[in-house]
Amino acid sequence: MAGLSDHLPEGFEIPETPSDRPEFWSAFWRASVTPWDLGTAHPEFLRQRDRLGPTGRALVAGCGRGHDAYFLASIGFSVLAIDCVPEAAAFARERLQGLKAEVRCMDAFELDEGPSFDLVLEHTFLCALPLERRPDWADLMRRHLRPGGRLVALVFPVGKPASDGGPPFGLTTDQIADLLAGDFELVHEEVAHSESPARGSGERFAVFQRRD
């Protein structure tokens, strides 16, 4: 997946706004152009259920339609799902109705709840951010994962250099480890599997644990 432009209908123009701004993504949602959406929770999360840790409070930033958040809530997690795009948050709110889940339409970097989460699920949020926002993402993880908590990440796209631009911007497990250095330990990593042709650049499944 070289970039969003490879998966867009003819005539759709990518906004010039930076990809950490709501208006960038709103243009896609208003046009019903969401090529990153798998239509369900990522199958690797289902396969790796035992590596998510005991059920507790979970955070899903950049939740989109709420597929991953729905999966977590359905197996017993209390979920906070965040998206900065009103259209996405509305989809997620409807999908998660009746479950132990809250959806907030907000900038995830403005979240201020302290280390109250047992799990953070990372799936296409980090790779969508401009590279200069990656340290802010790491700070978000440090602020909100409790000691012993887990960051479970779908690392994507691993076969694309970050210098090639995006979104999605190329990402590796080592890059995440460097961002989290000193505060997290990589406890598991393996190749992830997806049936989506849009994920052709490859994915890794990684689990980081917050040090005490």
Residues 6+ apart with CB under 8 A from 63: 69, 81, 82, 83, 88, 89, 92, 103
pTM: 0.94
pLDDT for 195 beyond 70: no
According to DSSP H, which parts of the chain are helical?
22-30, 43-47, 67-74, 86-95, 134-144, 173-179
- The pLDDT value recorded for residue 29 is 97
Q: Kindly report the number of other CB atoms within 10 A of residue 149's CB atom.
A: 23
Reply yes or no on whether the pLDDT at 2 is more than 60: no
Banded model confidence at residue 1, pLDDT cuts 50, 70, 90: very low
Range of the domain at 39: 4-210
Q: How many domains does the chain have?
A: 1
Tens-digit pLDDT profile for residues 153-175:
999 999 899 889 999 999 999 99
As a whole number, the mean pLDDT across the chain is 94
Identify residue 11 by its one-letter amino acid code: G
Report which of 179, 178, 185, 174 is spatially closest to residue 212, judged by C-alpha positions. 185
CATH number of 89's domain: 3.40.50.150
- Per residue in 32-74, pLDDT tens? 999 999 999 999 999 999 999 999 999 999 999 999 999 999 9
Please identify which residue in the block is written with the tokens 């890059």: 175
Tell me the C-alpha distance between 139 and 144, whole Å.
9
